[in-house]
Chains A and B, each alone.
Chain A
Amino acid sequence: GAVVSQHPSWVICKSGTSVKIECRSLDFQATTMFWYRQFPKQSLMLMATSNEGSKATYEQGVEKDKFLINHASLTLSTLTVTSAHPEDSSFYICSASITGRGYTFGSGTRLTVV
């Protein structure tokens, strides 16, 4: 149980376009989801925390207008990278929290902006 499905697993897009990444909790309801970014050989850096039905809370230095997060239901959160640039190329991972059971991570999305 407690599976988080994230897709796409990889995407290549042209500079200036937008990319949407979805994260779904398959067998539980996730009131809180976290979005992380990982650059090569670096730690997972928290970008934002999203709660169902409310605006996401962004970490310092993360542009909320560039990384749009929507958590419209208890089973779906989306991250949209708007007007992507090569420096946005990274590995993006979502995580859902389960009360009393901790955190479950998605399988990640490798974004390459060309």
Chain B
Amino acid sequence: DQQVKQNSPSLSVQEGRISILNCDYTNSMFDYFLWYKKYPAEGPTFLISISSIKDKNEDGRFTVFLNKSAKHLSLHIVPSQPGDSAVYFCAASAGSGGSNYKLTFGKGTLLTVNP
């Protein structure tokens, strides 16, 4: 049972445009969400997170939106750069951001930003 779903295995955008990566979840106990970026044969790198008490969090070019009623979140990258090309994982936790709680990951979306 996939509790965190990233239904788009890949996304291709032009440099300078917006990249929108989507994530859906089914477990209503999840209250903290994170986005990670991963290159092949490397560990994930933290990008941005959001608590369920918020509906938006912004950090530079990265913005995460959370729609709790729809159990949906999205990561917006604007403007997209070729260096953003990687696999992006959505993750969720039921620990209110407490870091001793396990993360549940989606399958990832491969983002390719074309020059």
* Contacts A44-B89, A100-B99 given; does A9 touch B43 at CB 8 Å: no
Contact with A49, one of B2, B102, B108 (Cβ below 8 angstroms): B102
* Contact-size category for B: 20 to 34
Q: Which residues of A contact B42 (CB under 8 A)?
A: 107-108
Q: Which residues of A contact B99 (CB under 8 A)?
A: 32, 97-103
Docked CA distance A6–B41 (Å): 12
Q: Interface on chain A toward B: helix, strand, loop, or mixed SS? A: strand
A: number of interface residues (CB 8 Å) = 31
Q: Does B67 touch A at the CB level, under 8 Å?
A: no
A100 to chain B, nearest CB (A): 7
* Contacts A9-B41, A43-B89, A44-B89 given; does A103 touch B107 at CB 8 Å: no
B24 to chain A, nearest CB (A): 13
Docked CA distance A46–B91 (Å): 12
Q: Which residues of B contact A54 (CB under 8 A)?
A: none
What are 9 inter-chain pairs, A to B, with CB distance below 8 A? Answer: A6-B43, A44-B44, A46-B103, A46-B104, A95-B103, A99-B100, A100-B99, A103-B103, A105-B36
Q: A6-B43, A36-B105 are in contact. List 9 more A-B contacts (CB 8 A).
A: A31-B100, A43-B106, A44-B89, A44-B103, A46-B103, A95-B103, A98-B99, A105-B44, A107-B42
Pairs A-B, 8 closest by C-beta atoms? A105-B43, A97-B99, A43-B105, A44-B105, A43-B107, A32-B100, A107-B43, A105-B44
